[in-house]
Structure 1
C-alpha cells in the first residue's frame, strides 16, 4: 500500500515546542517540594516523553502505563483495561501525564480517574497534539503542544498500524 504524506508539523517546530513546554513545566513546578513523576502512556508517548524529559531541568522520575479501551475492534468500548500498570508509587507526588495525542478524551479521562485514586499531590496533563473537534469529554490540558484539525496524522510517536512512529515530523496521510 502506498501512503501519501505531507508535513503538518516540522521537526524544527516540534523541537522548539518541546523546549518551550519544558520551560513551562519547570516554572509550574518550581515551588513544589514534592517529587515529580512523568507518566507516559505507551506506546505513542515514548518519543515525545524522551525529548520532553530532557527539556525539563527539575529532577523527575519516569514511569509508564499501557491501557486499552478497544475490545478487539476499531471503536472504543469505553471500558479501560490496564495492560501495564505503573512500576512506582505516586502517592503525595506531583504527577504529569504525558500523552502523544488527545482525540475523544474518553480513555484518558478514565486513566486520570484511576490515577487520582492513588492519592497523588497533583495531576496535570501534557500532550503534544490535541484534536479538539473530536473531544467527547473535556480535559484540562495544562501543557499543550499543538492543536490540529481532524486529520489522520503519523510520525513522532503517532502511528498507523504500528508504523511510521519513527518519522521525526508529524505528517498528514491520505489512506
Structure 2
C-alpha cells in the first residue's frame, strides 16, 4: 500500500475507528430489526466494502442484495437526480424491511430519487445506513437513519470510495492530495 499511502494528504477515519463504528452500527441494526425480514442492499461499487464488514456484525438473520444505479444529466457532470437502474435487485421487496447500505451520502440527489422507487415495491420499510455523510454538500432533503461519520467537503477515498476506480482497497478513509485529482 506504500504507493497509495503516498497519495493521501491525511487520514480522516482510521481503520480502528471504522471497525468500532461498524460494530456499533451492526449491534443497533440487530436490535432495531429483531423479528423482521431484513434485506440489506448495497449500492455498488462503493458500498461493497462497508456491506461486507457490516453484515458480519449483524447478529440476526438477514438477506443481502446488490444494485448498480447511476445518476445522469446532460453533458455536464452534475447529477440531475434522474436515476437509471443499471443492475436491479434480485429479491422481491414485498413485506421486507430494506436497509440501503451506502459508502457515502453526498448531495443525496440519487438516493432521494431511488428510495421512493423502492418504496413502490411494497416493502415494510426502507431505511438508509451510510458509513460517511457530507452534510455540507446536501442538495436533497435526505438524512441517513444510521450514520458512521460526518466528513468535511474534501476528496475522500478508501474503504470503498475511489478516485478513477483506485484507492477503494485502502483500509481507512483518507483525503486525496489535490495534485492527484487535478492532473
TM-score, length basis structure 1: 0.94
Instruction: State the distance in 1 between where 2:8 and 2:26 align.
Output: 32
Asked whether 1:67 is paired with 2:69, we answer yes
Partner of 1:92, secondary structure, is coil
Q: 2:107 aligns with which of 97, 104, 108?
A: 104
Corresponding residue number in structure 2 for 1:6: 10
Corresponding residue number in structure 2 for 1:38: 40
Corresponding residue number in structure 1 for 2:164: 161
Q: 2:124 aligns with which of 121, 124, 129?
A: 121
Instruction: State the distance in 2 between where 1:85 and 1:108 align.
Output: 15
1:141 CA drift (Å)? 1.4
Corresponding residue number in structure 2 for 1:25: 29
Instruction: State the distance in 2 between where 1:173 and 1:44 align.
Output: 16
2:8·2:174 contact (CA, 8 Å) conserved in 1? no
**Distance of aligned partners of 1:103 and 1:88 in 2 relative to their CA distance in 1, 3 Å threshold:** same
Corresponding residue number in structure 2 for 1:142: 145
1:73 CA drift (Å)? 4.8
TM-score, length basis structure 2: 0.90
Moved over 2 A (4+): 2-5, 70-74
CA RMSD, aligned part only?
A: 1.3
Q: Structure 2 regions of 5+ residues with no counterpart?
A: 1-5, 179-183
1:5 CA drift (Å)? 2.8
Counterparts of 1:65-104 in structure 2, within 5 Å, are 65-71=67-73, 73-104=76-107
Count how many residue pairs are aligned between Structure 1 and Structure 2.
172
Instruction: State the distance in 2 between where 1:16 and 1:68 align.
Output: 31
